[in-house]
């Protein structure tokens, strides 16, 4: 059995060569780093997504994050709950389908907008609450790349309502509460997380991190099936 990923790789030899060459350049330019062998492929793919080497250092991991993320994907059928549609659109459908995963986001739902207006909160807060009401957060992979208030609300749900996602990829970008939201998430011990410290972040980086985890999951799947 082949040990090369076939689902989470580029679809053409030319595309694979470009991506692998890019990873080799990143490895060479990054040099020595503090990340483990399981963490580095995630950071490297994030750097690859926007050519910013500051993520080598800004990216922080709960000790069990990679293991928990890979296990959630291998379990099959795990939902991905996102704060915005951009994350859902950016994730590879064939890669998700390989693990039976589906994506969910509620930021533009009419009831979410109405609740946000009625309660003077953000749509992102109400979207996380809707995901909780629907039972989607428990055991889910949650990706937040745009709205700090979504991450703050998720932390509240974890602390007050006992919500337990399998993994939180918390990378909201911005100037109001972005850094603070990620610091709050990083204080949670019993839910695994990956965060970017400070103001930087974005949906593209969440997608990159999840694609890296999907690749790690496929590699483990193929190794166990060999």
Label residue 30 exposed, middle or buried (CB < 10 Å: 0-12, 13-18, 19+): middle
Is 211 an active-site residue? no
Residue 141's H or E segment, with its range, is strand 141-144
Closest CA relative to residue 93, chosen from 194, 11, 4, 205: 11
- Cα(133)–Cα(188) distance, rounded to whole angstroms? 22
| DSSP letter, residue 221 | H
Catalytic one among 48, 62, 98, 211? 48
Token pair for residue 13?
């030899």
Catalytic sites, residue numbers: 48
């Amino acid at each position: 059995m082949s040990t090369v990923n076939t689902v989470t790789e580029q679809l053409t030899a030319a595309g694979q060569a470009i991506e692998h060459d890019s990873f080799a350049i990143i490895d060479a330019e990054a040099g020595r780093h503090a990340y483990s062998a399981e963490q580095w492929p995630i950071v490297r793919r994030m750097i690859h997504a926007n050519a910013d080497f500051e993520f080598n250092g800004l990216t922080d991991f709960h000790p069990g994050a990679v293991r928990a993320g890979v296990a959630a994907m291998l379990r099959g059928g795990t939902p991905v709950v996102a704060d915005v549609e951009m994350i859902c659109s950016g994730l590879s459908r064939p890669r998700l389908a390989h693990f039976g995963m589906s994506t969910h986001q509620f930021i533009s739902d009419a009831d979410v907008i109405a609740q946000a207006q009625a309660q003077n909160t953000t749509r992102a807060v109400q979207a996380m609450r809707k995901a909780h009401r629907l039972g989607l957060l428990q055991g889910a992979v949650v990706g937040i790349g745009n709205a700090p208030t979504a991450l703050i609300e998720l932390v509240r749900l974890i602390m007050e309502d006992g919500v337990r996602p399998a993994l939180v990829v918390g990378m909201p970008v911005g100037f109001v509460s972005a850094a603070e939201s990620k610091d709050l998430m990083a204080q949670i011990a019993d839910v695994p997380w990956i965060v970017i410290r400070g103001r930087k972040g974005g949906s593209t980086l969440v997608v990159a991190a999840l694609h890296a985890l999907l690749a790690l999951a496929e590699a483990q799947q193929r190794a166990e099936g060999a």
